[in-house]
Structure 1
C-alpha cells in the first residue's frame, strides 16, 4: 500500500480482539504467478457483543466467503483495499471460509508469499500474513494451524511449513501435497511455508527429556558443504538453552531454510526458520571469522525465540522488545559462552570481554545516534505509523542492555529464577513488557525486602541515552572518598517538540565502580563495612553520594565497569589517567574504554587543530607500544584495544558533525601509529601466524584479528614495504578472513594499480558465489578511495541488482553509511535520495532503512546540513510515498 497520509497508532488505543480464532486450516495451491489460498477459520466470540469481524488483507483477490458453509453474497460483507468486514451477529461460534488469490511473482516487497530464485518463501513479521490471506493480522490472535500445501512435484519437490509433518502423498496430476500441523497456538506473524528444491543436511538429537528431535538445514543444491557450521550451531543452541535456561525443543523437528532474497537476517517462525543465506552458508574458503560468528549468533537468536517470542509472544507490536531485547541478550550470552568453552579462566574472561566490547561498540555506533535523532523512541514506543520502522537498534540492542541490567541486579541465579517464573505465568500467552518485569520483580523483592523494580520500569518508557556525571571528593585526613553520581536525560526526538517539555524522572541505574592507585594497583572499596574490588552503585535519585573508607590517596576511578548500564559517563580525566587505566585496569572493558578514550581525545584534538595536531599524540604512541608488548593480553583482546574508534563512532563526538574532518584525522593517525610502531607491528604480524587448517574458534580468530590489524597499520604507514607485505598476504591467504583483510587494506591505502589488480583477481575467482561478491561490492563501496562515479559504475555491473536486498546493502548502503568522505557532497546526497526513491518503488522496508542513514541531518556542518535538507525535501515532494518512508521523512524534517 502506498499513501500520502499516514495515521499514527497509539499504544494506549490497544483493545483486545473481539474474537478468538481457535484453529486455522489453510490449503495452498502453490504457483509463482497466482497462488490460491483456501482459509477455514474456527471462530469464537470473545465478548459476546456482536461486534464486526474485521480481517486484514493486502494485494489479494477475494474469490469467495462462506459462513458456516453458506456462501455470502457481496452485500453481506464489506470489502475495501485493506479490510474484509463481516457482521456475524451474536453467534457464539462459527466457521468462516475464505478463498483468495495472491501473486508471489509480483511481490517485490518480499513480505508475505514471494519468489526467490525458483522457490517460494514467506515472511510474515510484522504484517506480512495479510498479503497471503484475509486474517486478523495482529500478534495477540493465537491459533493452532493445520496447513496443506499442494504444488507441482517437479518444480517444488519439497513442501515445508510449521510444526510436524502429518502426511505427504502424490496427486494424480503430477502434483503432490504435504500436511503440516503445529500443536502450539501462535500468532500469524510466526506462520511460514517454503516450497522448492533444496539440499538438506540433518541430524537427529535426543533432548534432555529423552525425546528424539530431527534438526534440518536446507539450502540450494551445490551449497551443502557450506551448511555444516550452521547445523552444528543449531545443535549447540539447543544444548545451551537446555543447560542455561532449562528450555527444551518442543517439536519433533526444527528446520532452517536459506533464502537468497530476504529483507532481514532471519525469522523465527515456529519450527521453520527462514534465513538470509548470509547467515547459513560458510566454509573456510568463502566465509570470514566474522561470518562464522554471526551465523552462530543468529542461529542461536532465532532458535532461542522458540521460547522467548513464540511460546510467550507479544500482546501488540509496542511490546516488540519483549521478545527481541530479551532474545538478543540471550544470544549475546550464548556467543560469549561458546567463545569461552574449553579455555583457561584468564583466557575465558578475556574472550567474554571481547564479546562485550564488540556488543557495546555496535550499540554506540547504531543506537546512540538513534537516541539522539528524530526517530528516538523508548524500547516500548508510544506510537508508530509503520511498525516496520521500529525494528531498530533501540528495540534490539538497547532492549538487550535493559535486560542485562536486570541480570546484573538479580545475579545469574536470580535472573534464572525470574525467567522460570515468567514461563510459569505466561507460557502460551501474548503478554507485555510489564508482565516480564513483574516476573523479575518477584525475585528482586525476595532478594531485597522493602524494595521493588517500579522505578526501573521507566527504562521502558523514556527515550534517550542518559548521562551520568561523576564527582570525586577525597579527604586525605579522613582517608575517605565521596563519590557523587548525578543523572540527566535531556528531551530527544518528539519530546523536544512537546509544550510543555516532557518531564523525565530519574532512572534506576546500576553503575559499577572500581579504583586504582597512582601506580595502577587496584584498591579495595569499603562501604558500610563491606569490602569489594568493584562496587555496584544503584543510582535511583537525580543525585546520590556514596562514601568509601580507607582510601589513603587520590585514586584513579574505573567507571562503568563492564558497561553496567547504557549511559554516557561525564567525568574529566587527564590523558595520563587514561594511559594508566589503559595499561593497568583489571576490568577488561574499562581498560579498553580508557584506551579508546585516549585515542578519541587525540583524534578530536587533531580535528580542532589540524595544523599542530594533538599534544597527547606521543602519549598515545607510548601507550600503544606498551600494550603491544604486554604478554598478558590475548591476541583477540589486543586487537580490540589497539584499534582506533570507528569513523561513525568518532563522528558522533564532533559538533557539528564533520565527516570529512573525521576521515582525514583518523587516516592521519593510523598512518602515524603504523609508522612509529612499525617494528612492533611486524613482530605482532609474525607472532600471530597460524599454521595448520582453518578453525573459527576464539583463539584462532583472535590471532587472525591481531595479525590483520598489524597488517593494516603497516599498510597505512605508507611505505612500499607495507604494500608489498599486503600483496604477499593476499596471495598466500588460505582463508577468506585473511584474503579480505588484505583486500580491504589495499582498497583503502594501496596504489590504484594494486587495488585494481587484486579486485579483478578477487572477482574472477569468486564471481559464482553471491555472498562473496556481496563482500566485493561492499569493500569498494566503503572505501575512501571509491568515488560516487565509481559507485554509479558498479551499479551497472551485471552482478548488481537493486531488487536483491543483500546486493543493495552491499553497495548502496555501504557507500551511504560508511564512505564518509565521498557521500558527503551535494551530488552524494542527491544520489542517496535517488536510491531511497528507487527502492521505495520496489521494497519500502529496505527504502526506509536507507532513508534513516541521514535522519540526523540537522546536526551536520551548515553546508552539509543544507544539502541534506534539500535532498530530504526532494524525497518529500514525490507523490505517493510508501507508509514506511513517509513516516521517516516527516519525522526527519519535523526535527529542524
Structure 2
C-alpha cells in the first residue's frame, strides 16, 4: 500500500514518453505466496531522443529478481530499482531493444485488490487505473499502447482455467501437474486493460453471430454451482452486442468474449479487452435471489462494459484527465441501451434522480471538479459521478444541439478517425464540429468548468399584444479553485403549454436562438419574446432534462399543478409533481423547526392518488412519481443549517398525509396489482411490482399495516417483493414482532448466500433513528460480514453513512465516531474502498452548527492518523479544505 507522496499531477504538464512499448510478452508462473512474472518488453526510443536519456518505469511495491536487455543481464551500475520505480541508465544505442524484467508477487497477501490478487482461491487482476505497476515495472499510462502475448502457468488442480485478454493461442501440459495457456490480443491496448484470471470456475457458454457473419464464442465464468444464475447476464450480453451494431455500427472484433464473476472486487466491473471481470453481484441473478433493480443493473453494467470495447478499448484516453472520454461517453451509450430495452421515460427519470443524488452534491461541495479535471493527486478518487453521470449528460447535450442524425455522423467519424489511438476531449469535440460546421468552443466549457449552472427564469404575458416573454439569467456558483466562471452554452428544451395540455404554437421568436423546441442560452441574460401567443401558457422547462442545471422559476402553484397533471412530456410532468412535493417538504421542515405540526394541501395529497391510479401511465412511472424525494434530496435543496431529524419528521408527516388521503385508492390498487402470473424480469412486470411495493409502503402506515407487510413478506414468490416487504417492516415498524420474525426468517433462509445477505445488512443499516448505530456496530461481528469484502462493507457501512441521514448524523456524533473507526480499519486493507466511504461527509458544511462541528472533528481525526494512503488523504484533505 502506497502512502501519500504529495505529488499533484496536472493536465498542462502532459508530454509524450521518451520510449514506447509496442509489444509486451508476459509469463506468469502462479503461486499464492510467490508468483513469478517475466515481462519481455519490446522498447522503442522515440525519434530525436538520445540514447543517454534513461528509461524510467513505474512500479508499486515490486520486488525485482532479474533484469536484462537483449539477453545481457544488467549490473547494479546500470540501473536503480526501488519498489515503486525502475530507472535504467545504461541503454543500447539502437532505437529498438528487448527488455526482460522478472518480478515476484504474493497474490494471497494482496488485500488492496489491485494488481494481481488471489481471493476465494481464484487469481484475478484489476489494473485500472494504476494496478499494472503492481505486477511488473512498466510505462503504466493510458497512451502507451502495446500488443500483448501472455503465457500463464499454474498447477492444474489449483487453476484448471487460465484466461487472459484476446484470443486463445495455445495450451498444454507441463511436468509435475502443471499446465499452461497462451493468449494473444492483436489489438494494441494500454496496460490498464490487461487482465488475467485463473482458478476453478464453472462456465456458461453461448455464441453470437456478428453483423458480418463472424461467430464469436461467449463465456461467462462463475463459482461452480452458480451457473444457473448467469443466464440473464448472458442474454443481456447478446442484446448489447446486437444493439451496438444497430445503434452505433460497432461490431465485436475478437473470436471470443469472456466475462468472469468474482466475489471480491472494488468496482462494479472492468472492461478489460475480451475478458471483462465483474463483481458477482452484477452477474448472478434469479427471481429468488435478485430484485428487479438487480436485474436492471446487471443489464446496464453488462452493456456498459461491453460498449467499452469501442469507447475505451479500441479508442482509449490519452491520459487520466480524459477519463470522461471513455466513461461519460459509455454511460451515455448504456443509458440509451437501457432506454431502448425498457421504458425511455422511466429510465430518464431514474438517470436524473441519480445525477441529483450524487453529482449535484459533488458539484456543490469541496470535492467539486470539472468533467475533465485539471489536476489530481490520486486518480482512483476521480472515478466520480461528475466524470460518469455528468459526463454522460454532456454527450447527451451534444446530441440535443446537433440532432440525432448529425450526432451519429460525428460518432461514426470519431470511430473512423481515432480507432487505435489514445484520444482527448478536443479530438472528440472536433469530430462534431467537422460534421456540423458549428463552433462548439463555448459548449466545451461543460468539460472544463466545475459547478452546476442555475437558470433564473420569469415570464410575462401581454394578452393585447399576444406576446409571451421569458427573462432568463444564467449563473454558475463558485467552486473550490474556481471563483470566477465563464458563461455556458445551455440547451434548454421547452414548451408553452395551453389549457388543453397541448403545446401553444407561436408565430415568431426573438432574443435567443430557438431550434426544434430548444432555447440556446449563451449569454448571461436573455429576453426571449414569443409572438402570436394569445393565451397565457404554463411554462414547461428543461423538458427531458435537456441540461444538467438547476432552475429558479417564478411560477404559480396553479401552473405546477396543471403541468403535473397534463404536461405531455413525461419527464416534465414528473418534475412538476416532484417540485410540488419538495416545496411542501421544505415548508414542513421549517414548521418542524418552529415546533409546529406540518400541514399539507389536500390538492397535493389528492394529486398523488390521481397519479397512482392513472391507468394511462406506465406503472413504473407512477411508482417513481409517488415516491417522495429522499431526505438527502431535501437537504440538498434546503442548502444550509441542515437538521436531519427535522427533515425526517417532515417527510414522515407528508407520507402519512398522502397515505391517509388516499387510503381507499391505494389499498384497492395494491390488491389489484397482485402478481398472478409467473415471475418475469421484463420492464412491464417489474413496473407493476414497483408500483405495488411503493403502495405497500404507504398503506403500511394505516391500521393493520405491520400485519399487511408481514403477509406480503410471507407470500412473496420473488426477491423483489420479499425485500420490499422486509424494508417496509424494518423502516416503518422497527422492533415490532412482525419485523423481528421477518428479519430472522430472511437470515435463516439466505445465510449462506453472501449477495442476498448484503440486502439484509443494507436494510438494517437503513433503519432511521439514533438506535441504529448499535445494530450496525453489532452487525460488523456477524459471521456473514467481512471487512475484507467490499460488497459487505458497502452494504452495511456504506449504506449507514450515505443513506441513513438520522442514524449517521446522530446529534451526539456517535455515528461519526463509528465512521472514523471503520474507515481507518478498512484503509489498512483497501485504501480505495476507504476513500470512497469517506466521501459520505462531503456535505458536512451544510449541517447545523453542532453537527457541523462534530463532523469536522471526525474528518480531522482521519486526517491526523499516521501513514494515510494517498487515496484517503486526498479525499479527506479536499473535504476539509
**TM-score, scaled relative to structure 1:** 0.95
Which stretch of structure 1 is more off in the superposition, 82-91 or 774-783? 82-91
Name the structure 2 match of 1:344. Answer: none
Equivalent in the alignment of 1:59 = 61
- 2:590 — aligned with what? 608
The answer on whether the counterparts of 1:525 and 1:535 sit within 8 Å (CA) in structure 2 is: no
Q: Which moved more, 1:605-614 or 1:418-427?
A: 605-614
The residue number in structure 2 matching 1:630 is: 614
Counterpart of 1:204 (choices 204, 207, 214) is 207
- 1:481 and 1:547 in contact (8 A); partners too: yes
Partner of 2:549: 567
CA deviation vs aligned residue, 1:373-419 (integer Å, no higher than 9, x gap): 11100010010000000000000000000000011112221111101
Tell me what 2:28 maps to.
Answer: 28
The CA distance in 1 between the partners of 2:99 and 2:794, in whole Å, is 42
Counterpart CA distance in 2 for 1:318 and 1:889 is: 21
Q: Is the 8 A contact 1:876 1:889 kept in 2?
A: yes
* Secondary structure of 1:166 counterpart: strand
Separation (CA, whole Å) in 2 of partners of 1:751 and 1:111: 40
**2:867 matches 1:883:** no
CA offset digits 1:698-747 (Å, max 9, x no partner): 110000000111101011x2422x22211111111000000011000000
CA displacement, residues 340-369 of structure 1 (integer Å, 9 cap, x when unaligned)? xxxxxxxxxxx2110000000000000000
Q: Within 5 Å, which residues of 2 pair with 1:570-649?
A: 570-610=552-592, 611-613=595-597, 616-649=600-633
SS of 1:354 mapped into structure 2:
helix
| Secondary structure of 2:175's aligned partner | coil
Deviates more, 1:689-698 or 1:613-622: 613-622
* Alignment partner of 1:858 is 2:864: no
CA contact (8 A) 1:356 1:562 kept: yes
SS in 1 for 2:637: coil
Structure 2, unaligned runs of 5 or more: none
1:757-811 per-position Cα deviation (integer Å, ceiling 9, x unaligned): 1001001001111110010100110111551111111111111111100000000
- SS of residue paired to 2:117: strand
Match of 1:750 among 706, 722, 733: 733
RMSD over aligned Cα atoms: 1.6
Please list the CA deviations of residues 7-38 of structure 1 after superposition, one character each: whole Å capped at 9, or x if unmatched. 21101000101111010000000111111000
1:463-478 to structure 2, matched below 5 A, reads: 463-478=450-465
Mapped to 1, the partners of 2:851 and 2:151 lie a distance apart of 56
Q: Does 1:18 align with 2:18?
A: yes
Q: Cα 1:396–1:82, aligned 2, differ >3 Å: closer, same or farther? A: same
2:231 aligns with one of 228, 240, 252? 228
What is the CA distance between 1:687 and its match in structure 2? 2.4
Could you say which residue in structure 1 is the equivalent of 2:764?
Answer: 780
For residue 526 of structure 2, give the secondary structure of its aligned residue in structure 1: strand
Residue of structure 2 in register with 1:740 after alignment: 723
Aligned pairs (5 A) from 1:277-676: 277-339=280-342, 351-445=343-437, 451-495=438-482, 501=483, 503-518=484-499, 520-528=501-509, 535-610=517-592, 611-613=595-597, 616-654=600-638, 655-676=640-661
Superposition deviation, residue 487 in structure 1: 0.8
**Relative to 1, partners in 2 of residues 1:526 and 1:228: Cα closer, same or farther, differing over 3 Å?**
farther
Q: Displacement of 1:128 after TM fit?
A: 0.2
2:565–2:573 Cα contact (<8 Å) kept: yes
| 1:543-601 deviation digits (Å, cap 9, x = unpaired) | 12222122112221011000000000110323322211111111100000011011111
Q: For residues 580-637 of structure 1, what are the alpha-carbon distances to aligned partners after superposition, in whole Å with 9 as ceiling and x for unaligned?
A: 1111111100000011011111111111012545565322112112223322111111
Q: How far is the alpha carbon of 1:5 from its aligned partner?
A: 4.6
CA contact (8 A) 1:325 1:397 kept: yes
C-alpha distance in 1 between matches for 2:629 and 2:554: 19
Contact 1:791/1:811, CA 8 A, preserved across alignment? yes
C-alpha contact 2:37 2:135 (8 A) present in aligned 1: yes
- Residue 216 of structure 1 corresponds to 219
Structure 2 CA distance for aligned equivalents of residues 90 and 371 of structure 1: 51
Structure-2 change in CA distance of 1:686 and 1:525 (3 Å)? farther
Q: Structure 1 residues 613, 414: closer, same or farther in 2, change over 3 A?
A: farther
8 A contact 2:509–2:528 mirrored in 1: no
Contact 2:605 2:658 in 1 (8 A): yes
| In 2, Cα distance between equivalents of 1:223 and 1:407 | 41
Tell me the residue number matched to 1:342.
none
Indicate how the Cα distance of structure 1 residues 79 and 837 shifts in structure 2: closer, same or farther if over 3 A, else same: same
Residue 699 of structure 1 is aligned with which of 677, 681, 684? 684
Query: By how many angstroms is 1:533 displaced?
Result: 11
1:314·1:323 contact (CA, 8 Å) conserved in 2?
A: yes
Counterpart check, 1:161 vs 2:164: yes
Matches within 5 A, 1:168-183: 168-183=171-186
How has the CA–CA distance of structure 1 residues 528 and 370 changed in structure 2, closer, same or farther, with 3 Å as cutoff? closer
Instruction: Report if aligned partners of 1:456, 1:508 keep a CA contact under 8 Å in 2.
Output: yes
1:890 deviation in Å?
1.3
Specify the SS of the correspondent of 1:558.
strand
How many Å apart are 1:657 and its aligned residue?
2.4
- 1:835 matches 2:827: no
Contact 2:588 2:599 in 1 (8 A): no
Indicate yes or no: 2:267 matched with 1:264: yes
After TM superposition, the structure 1 = structure 2 runs for residues 771-810 of structure 1, keeping only pairs within 5 Å, are 771-784=755-768, 787-810=772-795
2:723 & 2:411 partners in 1: Cα distance?
41
Cα deviation for residue 252 of structure 1 reads 0.1
Partner of 2:46: 46
TM-score normalised over the length of structure 2: 0.97
Moved more, 238-247 or 785-794: 785-794
1:519 is displaced (CA, Å) by: 5.7
Q: Which SS does the other structure have where 1:173 is aligned?
A: helix
* Alignment match, 1:81: 83
For the residues of structure 2 that align with 1:127 and 1:79, how far apart are their CA atoms?
A: 18
Unaligned runs of 5+ in 1: 340-350, 446-450, 496-500
Structure 2: distance between partners of 1:534 and 1:362: 27
Name the CA distance, whole Å, in 2 between partners of 1:470 and 1:107: 55
CA contact (8 A) 2:612 2:623 kept: no
1:121, 1:3 → 2: CA distance?
24
| 2-structure distance, mates of 1:89, 1:68 | 9
Q: Any conservation in 2 of the 1:511–1:564 contact (CA below 8 Å)?
A: yes
